[in-house]
Structure 1
Amino acid sequence: MTDDLNRSKPKDSAPESKSPGRRDFMKASGAAGIMAAVGSRIFAGEAKAETAVVSSAAGNYWEQEDWRALPKRTILGYCWPWHARPGDTLDFKVSTYAGGPYEADLVRVIHGNIWPAQKMQKELELEAPFARQYPGRHQISAPGSCVEVPESRGLNNIKSFTVQSYVFPSLILKKGEKLHHYPDTYIGHEGLGIEETEEVIDEQTLVARWDEEAGTGWSLYLDRQGRPSFKIAGSNGKTHKIILGRPLLKKRWFLVAASYDADSGSLKISSEHIDGYFANEYAVRPQSATLALPAGAKPRQKGVLRFGATTGRKRGKYYRAPAQVLNGKLDSVRLTHGALSPKEVQEVSGLVVPKKRALKVIGFWDFGKDIGTTKVHDLSKNNLHGETINLPDRGVTGVRFDGSITEWTVKPDHYGACAFHDDDLYDAQWETDFSYKVPKGLPSGIYAVRLKHGDFIEHIPFFVAPPKGRTTSKAAYLVPTVSYSAYSNMDEHFSLNIPIARKQFDGSTKIEKDHFVHPSVAGLSPHEAAFYAKHRRELGGGVYRNHTGGGYHWHATQKVPNLNLKLAAGYTKLCMDTFLTDWFYAKGIEVDIITDDMMQAEGVDLLKNYNVILNGHHPEYYSSEMLDAVEGYLDQGGRWMYLGGNGYCWTTPFHPTLDGVVEVRKNVGGGLLFGGDYWGVQQAVNEYDGRDAGLWRSAHRPEQRTVGVGWVASPYSTQSVPYKRTEAAGDTRAAFIFAGVKGELLGSFGLSGNGAAGFEVDGASFDKGTPSHALIVARSTDFGKPWHFMLGGLEREEFAPRFAMPRADMTFFETSKGGAVFSVGSMSYIGSLSHAGYDNNISQITLNVLSRFMDKKPFRMPEG
């Protein structure tokens, strides 16, 4: 091993005699070895325990192990932000689900634990100023998206008024129908929703100034049967309702209007079906009704005005909880003085304020303006602008959509709707239990706050980078925090409408459709799955979640508890990536830790001073700014080690103003694979940046162009397989890769499917941008039966001959200015590093490449 693999001591670290280097922290004895800490001081505090803690629960796959012996979750927490540098402060927020206090301390994370029985978890206990016992308390969040218009004198002085909106309900249940969370259906099909239960849906609000605690105000809403309804209540607490006789149709546009006439003392409500895009459907008759009020009955005009929700419980310094949340879309919300006639309702439902009604207009809101922000514009002279709460979807098809375009950037008035959901959540807004200021001299690495509550142990991971502008190693491990966000709180039974090619016994290939449910993806034990099902609305999370009203989530947030960002969470995400950090420690290799979020903020400046950057097993989600940073680094002669699969795939813009939020819209397969329903393909432009959504290759930035390989298959159901050297492995340019490596088969072992190639795999494609001089030095052997996504919309049997068999291509190529890229094209690859005490051909290949990439000696481009 060269000296380049060892980190030089930071200038501001503790003296050598008091602070051993990270190489000395631990010595490994195999994948399940116990790590011992040496030395009397680690940084600013004493080393508490001379041995690391190793998980000791029982089991393997959940269907095979005695998971009932595992303790049930009684505590949950998260921190913000996820990453820090020395001097930064992280806030930790904790909730308990049983009585009693909890204990908190600090650990250095070395290795996660795929399944409890494997006893692989390694962590080093450290001193921290917050380490002590804390009283337990239950904290709640306030899910549900809406728009809020602040209280104003103009709103409070309203007498007679009319409120109206176009509405497109996505969840209306027939009488007696129940919601189901785990149906045997695909995304977007009927029946997706919350856990299977006797629960029925509640009222769903269109527009309201209704205070749930006081029981006063007014609300235009759909009742539990989906019937348009209007209610008012004054300070005397008496509520008066008017309800139409027929429910609205699900996923069709209606114009619903209601009025309160102070002069006549009456309520009126009406609904009208809008033909619009579905012009050939049977006609739905308009309906209306009037209710005479008793003397003195009038609504209380006080508080905020909301679209998509009423005003729920008070929450201290935070906004009041959204209640009675709509699952559906609104377009063209209007509020006017007086009880309008049907003709006047039509006149104010257009795109511009009609001059002859301008004096009557109180609010005239347009969701098509400032898409991608939290602002909702009022086009009236009153400037009653609103703000979105909890990330409702914008840039979605509205009542004026006619199918002529698919980009909201071209005709925003066709995308003038806002979609609300009762399970949307941006920030759980839990109170902070304690904070941690990262001390000067704390080595860059992956850490966690460990919580102990009864028999249950919880970890809240976070990532510590070196001081800004400094590097403490020539290599950096880029932690894929954006992908961690996307997978947060993944539905255990999230299902995909997957076209698969299944090899038959006669050698033919048959195209089938199937859905994928596998415990290794969500990584949740049945206990954890039950906990999630009970609390899913209040947890929020990422984009692998089904909305109550169908379809999948487009927004992923870090400001919520994350059941998947754990140290024992199956073969994906952080748990799997610790195979690489464990290998670093076993080999005594010093690396800095940096994150996607940091790269988004700092760009190529974060990367430029490192000789080599390493990716983990699944860096799937990338923004354009992140890709710019990677390509800019390579253009400057940087070296890149992509040690995973299914990376750099999806366009993933960051929210322009809200921290910790990204957007993912998937329109593969005409919108039906991931889009949630037909409208997926019609809404294939990102809200946050106005660019094409979906795969980066569809947005003209194929991953093959950057790292040489790209996602080709997802053979989840098969065992992983070894690679086999190709003829190109004998090229002198690749000699350094295989120095000291014997045999043709590479990685016929491993903890992710018993092989180095598998789970999701990438292949080279010179047509899609793999550099023409790239060497495919090894390729996975046959997976046996192909189970994979058929990319490019290949859903029909006649396209099967065009689809390549699943493969993982180990690829190497040089770049300009002396740089190089090494890609393995497999999510399972790093699961083979620790085999046989880290002494195996996959480990040797990785070490060979890292050693050469750390060397400043430039690579030479081959001559054409």
Structure 2
Amino acid sequence: MKVIGYSRQLSVRPGSDVDFFVSCDAESYHADIVRLVHGDTNPEGPGFKVTPVRTGIDSDFPGQVQRTYAGSHVLVEDHPLLRVATSFTLQAYIAPTTPRKGVQGLVTKWREGRQAGYGLFIGADGAVQLWLGDGSGAVQKVTAGKPLLEGTWYFVSASVDTAGALHLRQEPYVTPTNGRFTIASSLASTTAVVTEPVRVIPASDNGVPLVMAGYVEALTDEPIGVVVGGHYNGKLDRPRLHRGALTPEQTATQVEAPGGRTLVAAWNFQEEITSDGIRQTRHISDVSPHRLDGHALNVPTRAATGYNWQGREQNFVHAPEQYGAIHFHDDDLDDVRWRVSFTLRVPDELPSGLYAARLRADDDTGATGQNPGEDPELDTDYVPFYVRPRPGRENKICFLAPTASYIAYANDHVTLWTPIAQLFIARVPVLQQQNIVLSAHRELGLSTYDIHSDGSGVAYSTRLRPILNMRPGFRHWLSPSLWQFNADLYLIDWLIEKGYDFDVVTDQDLHHEGREVLDPYRVVITGSHPEYSSEQMLDALHSYLDTGGRLMYMGANGFYWVINFDPENQNVIEVRKGHGSQAWRARAGEYHLSFTGEYGTIWRFRGRAPQRLVGVGWASEGFDVSSYYLRTPDGRTGLASWMLEGIEPNERIGDFGLVGDGAAGLELDIYDASLGTPPETIIAATSQDHTDVVLEVLEEQYFPVPGTNGSQNPKVRADIVYFPTPEGGGVWSASSIAYCGSLSYNNYDNNVSRLTANVLNRFLSEGPAPLTM
């Protein structure tokens, strides 16, 4: 892929601007705007559909490769007080997670190109080191000489005294709850105290900031400004800097009560914790009188247990002093920070919908175009964005785009990282061109289904980067066909082909603006997999339904994970996984969202199972082939006749489709009164004949026992349900991620299309939604 890009804005109104950022490894590229309609290249379906749109963007632009710098760290702006030389002390608690990966900065004022400054490091030998460089070629590196143990807290300090002696200490700090080990005689073998004469006076007036969790590799005129290398993997807690050499006893007193004439800075990461979470997520407070505050880049994990965590309190807002650590990773990312390449002013009369900037560059590699219909001599990328309607000119139908879920899956590497991927989906995963690019360019960031290079789970995901699996034409390894963003184009295509006028609103719009976003609409339609939801989203949907709204839930495994958005960057989401079916599990004491302080994991364990909202909830998954639905007893009565009109009583519903050859597949939801399915709910149809690859999800099981697969377990099914809501409203749920892939079969003339149209037409009517009792 010679050209890739992203946009600053995802959801905009006509008349607003959208900034696009492009990296192109060619002399030039062409950009224009298209409407995205159908993204499946399968020849059995309608095919790849994009419609060019006349805008102010239809031009050639010069190519420019834009670099991405992943890895989280803290920068403290250069200050005279940080320019220590002949006598100083550095100290901190550290819990390294990859101590043997190579050189890692801990607390440094080091300029690599000039070999100037000072700093505490983890060296190539896996031990703590103190570096001193005079900027003219003389460098002194003193090592503790004993490799650190992964996942263990250490108190580390280094001091230079006026007598010309250098002192370096590395001491394990182990309690029954604070780290990987509790009692182990081997911990003593990693204790080190080293004293050497000072041979180099550090040139700390080196023009660079102080860095935590890395060191300055270079200064650049790129938007990032400071290029940081040697990123640290692990936790850092209570770093301090003093002018003057402190004894071990004096450094110990500075941990919880920093002060005295020698104190330069005492950074306490818990200072930003409030009763509502960490509201200044990037701010790093210096509690000394000098206020040498820092700024965190690339969202390191906050609300992390510190060196003194006692295991009694699980919520960081209740014991902030025990959550004074930040967990840094060398592959964290919140924004690739590229230069703006061009800006679109959205035309005033552009209809609401899903659009993209189409980027096409000359391809001299011999590869072919990514999609049928594209010029095979051009390398093409699409950068999507949503256009909302003008206020007061809304249609009656709203497609609620589940963009938080798209961000959660953004750029996942699971098929390349997970040895059991083939077993999981019962076939060989097929990689797309985008997967290969992501494998080669890990700096483009991770999804919440990945783990960091140190084995910890990825809690944050950002939209401010090229998201190469959020593209039309992309076939996800997990699905027999499409997944997430591209799968939702099945629904958009069907609405257009059937002549429905509709608007698009994103779930992020709903989160930030509330229920009023939905007020103009008679019917709200979800995507196929609205898995990640915030409390604000759920509250808005509940309020909409309580006042007569009508909701069509077009998928499954929806409203499952608890997320929220970064208060300082609304393009970043956070999730803490655990207690459900998860790709990773949060560490003890770290299940609460740092942004808000609320309990994370799945909504079911917050008392808000999706059955309470849409009548069904996730119960099984399998990624081989899809199946079909048959009517239930409820579906054979007059209660369901309005939705099943034109479908024979014994007709298989959806025994066809572009996703696994059926409408019931991938992930399936079921009726469950014990979890809150309303008593008025009817089951119109339920799926049949799932294979043994389709398994019951973990949260439905108390013990791992045989009989959890499709041919033996009655919970392995999808239930099409309906129930009325107050003020004449109603909820209808398809309960399968594969459902929308069957809409276009036989030129859109099929029983899945008919069923969907029957429900939508009834929900659009002036009268109340049907009663069931």
Q: CA deviation at 1:414?
A: 2.1
Q: Distance in 2 between matches of 1:342 and 1:550?
A: 33
TM-score by length of 2: 0.91
Alpha-carbon offset, residue 517 of structure 1: 6.1
Asked whether the 8 Å contact 1:492–1:519 carries over to 2, the reply is no
CA distance in 2, matches of 1:517, 1:310: 42
2:331 partner amino acid? D
Instruction: Quote the residue 1:363 is aligned against.
Output: 265
Counterpart in 1 of 2:553? 642
Mapped partners of 1:112, 1:594: distance in 2:
20
Question: Partner residue of 1:629?
Answer: 540
Structure 2 residue identity aligned to 1:769: G
**1:94–1:433 contact (8 Å) kept in structure 2:** yes
- After TM superposition, give the deviation of residue 242 of structure 1 in Å: 0.5
Aligned partner of residue 604 in structure 2, secondary structure: coil
Structure 2 spans left out of the alignment, 5+ residues: 363-377, 476-481
C-alpha distance after superposition, 1:235-285 (max 9, x if no partner): 324221111211100111111111223x22333211001122333222324
Deviation per residue, 1:739-781 (Å, 9 max, x gap): 1112432101111011100101111110001101101111110
Conservation of the 8 A alpha-carbon contact between 2:685 and 2:721: yes
Please list, as runs of the form range in 1=range in 2, the aligned pairs for 1:408-487 lying within 5 A after superposition: 408-454=316-362, 455-467=378-390, 469-487=391-409
TM value normalised by structure 1: 0.81
User: Which AA in structure 2 matches 1:767?
Assistant: S
1:142 and 2:94 are equivalent in the alignment: no
Question: Partners in 1 of 2:394 and 2:679 — Cα distance?
Answer: 35
Kept after mapping to 1: 8 A contact 2:84/2:243: no
Match of 1:270 in 2: 169
Q: Residue 494 of structure 1 contacts residue 546 of structure 1 at CA under 8 Å; is this kept in 2?
A: no
- Taking structure 1 as reference, are residues 769 and 683 closer, same or farther at Cα in structure 2, changes over 3 Å only? same
Per-residue displacement from partner, 1:262-312 (whole Å, max 9, x unpaired)? x22333211001122333222324202123233756544653222111123
The within-5 A match list for 1:61-210 is 73-97=1-25, 99-113=26-40, 120-156=47-83, 159-173=86-100, 201-210=101-110
What is the deviation of 1:157? 6.0
Report the alpha carbon displacement of residue 151 of structure 1 after superposing the two structures with TM.
2.1
Find the counterpart in structure 2 of residue 814 from structure 1.
Answer: 724
Conserved in 2, the CA contact under 8 Å of 1:143 and 1:322? no
**2:56 aligns to what SS in structure 1?**
coil
Shift of 1:380: 1.9
1:284 aligns with 2:188: yes
Q: Which amino acid aligns with 2:295?
A: E
Asked if 1:382 corresponds to 2:296, the answer is no
What secondary structure does 1:683 align onto?
Answer: coil
Q: Is the 8 A contact 1:497 1:673 kept in 2?
A: no
Q: Are 1:218 and 2:118 counterparts?
A: yes
Distance 1:792 1:352, change over 3 A: farther
Contact 1:102 1:452 in 2 (8 A): yes
Give the conservation status (yes or no) of the 8 Å contact 1:790–1:803: no
State the 1:818 CA deviation: 0.8
The answer as to 2:642 corresponding to 1:736 is yes
CA contact (8 A) 1:204 1:222 kept: yes
- For the residue of structure 1 that corresponds to 2:284, the secondary structure is strand
Encode CA deviations 1:542-584: one digit per residue, 9 max, x unaligned. 3122211112211111111101111011211221111011111
Note the 1:659-808 alignment, pairs <5 A: 659-668=570-579, 673-676=582-585, 680-716=587-623, 718-744=624-650, 745-788=652-695, 790-792=697-699, 794=701, 796-798=703-705, 805-808=715-718
The amino acid across from 1:755 in the alignment is: G
| Higher fraction of strand | 2
Paired AA for residue 271 in structure 2: K
Match of 2:751 among 820, 834, 841: 841
**Residue of structure 2 in register with 1:311 after alignment:** 216
Quote the sequence identity (%).
33
Give the deviation of 1:800 after TM superposition.
6.3
Q: SS state of the match for residue 608, structure 1?
A: coil
Query: Which residue type is aligned with residue 359 of structure 1?
Result: R
Partners in 2 of 1:532 and 1:680 — Cα distance?
A: 27
Task: Specify the code of the residue in structure 2 equivalent to 1:81.
Answer: Q
Matched residue type, 2:359: L
Instruction: Tell me the SS of whatever aligns to 1:837.
Output: coil
Q: Does the C-alpha gap of structure 1 residues 812 and 318 become closer, same or farther in structure 2, counting only changes over 3 Å?
A: same
Which residue number in structure 1 is paired with residue 374 of structure 2?
A: none
The one-letter amino acid of 1:762's match is D
Aligned residues: 735
CA distance in 1, matches of 2:552, 2:404: 18
Q: Report how far residue 482 of structure 1 moved.
A: 0.7
Kindly indicate whether the alpha-carbon contact (under 8 Å) linking 1:170 and 1:250 is maintained by their aligned counterparts in 2.
Answer: yes
8 Å CA contact 1:259–1:339 kept in 2: the answer is: yes
CA distance in 1, matches of 2:71, 2:219: 15
Shift of 1:118: 6.7
Q: Is the 8 A contact 1:160 1:337 kept in 2?
A: yes
1:533-682 pair list within 5 angstroms: 533-537=439-443, 539-570=444-475, 571-668=482-579, 673-676=582-585, 680-682=587-589
- For each residue in 1:675-707, what CA deviation from the matched residue of structure 2 results, as whole angstroms up to 9, or x when unmatched? 35xx53431111111111110011111111001
Distance 1:370 1:515 in 2: 44
Alpha carbons of structure 1 residues 296 and 605: separation in structure 2 relative to 1, 3 Å: closer
* Structure 1 residues 530 and 795: alpha-carbon distance in aligned structure 2, compared to 1, 3 A threshold: farther
Equivalent residue for 2:234, pick from 316, 325, 328: 328
In structure 2, C-alpha distance between the alignment counterparts of 1:726 and 1:833, rounded to whole Å: 21
1:853, CA displacement in angstroms? 0.6
Question: Are the structure 2 counterparts of residues 514 and 492 from structure 1 closer, same or farther at C-alpha, using a change threshold of 3 Å?
Answer: closer
For residue 284 of structure 1, what is the amino acid of its counterpart?
A
Q: Which residue of 2 aligns with 1:52?
A: none
Comparing 397-406 with 581-590, greater Cα deviation is found at: 397-406
Q: How does 1:11-30 map to 2 (within 5 A)?
A: none
User: Structure 2 counterpart of 1:105, which letter?
Assistant: D
Q: Secondary structure at the match of 2:57?
A: coil
Q: Per-residue displacement from partner, 1:700-759 (whole Å, max 9, x unpaired)?
A: 11111001111111112x310001110111333322101111243210111101110010
The residue type equivalent to 1:279 in the other structure is T
Q: 1:492 to 1:792 in 2, by over 3 A?
A: closer
**Structure 1 position 89, deviation (Å):** 0.5
What is the CA-CA distance between 1:444 and the residue it aligns to?
Answer: 0.8
Shift of residue 530, structure 1, vs aligned partner? 2.5
Distance 2:400 2:459 in 1: 24
State the one-letter code of the partner of 2:484. K
CA contact 2:160–2:198 (8 Å) conserved in 1: no
Tell me, in whole angstroms, the C-alpha distance in 1 between the residues paired with 2:521 and 2:758: 18
Q: Look up the equivalent residue of 2:450 and give its one-letter code.
A: R
Give the secondary-structure state (helix, strand or coil) at the position aligned to 2:536. helix
Partners of 1:417 and 1:494 in 2: CA distance: 31
Paired residue type of 1:212? E
CA contact (8 A) 2:238 2:325 kept: yes
Q: Which amino acid aligns with 1:835?
A: Y
Please give the alpha-carbon distance, in whole angstroms, between the structure 1 residues aligned to 2:428 and 2:66.
29
Evaluate the alpha carbon distance shift between residue 171 and residue 90 of structure 1 in structure 2; reply closer, same or farther with a 3 A threshold: same
Matched, 1:231 2:137: no
Counterpart position of 1:392: 300
Residues 494 and 517 in structure 1, CA contact (< 8 A), matched pair in contact too: no
1:343 equivalent in structure 2: 249
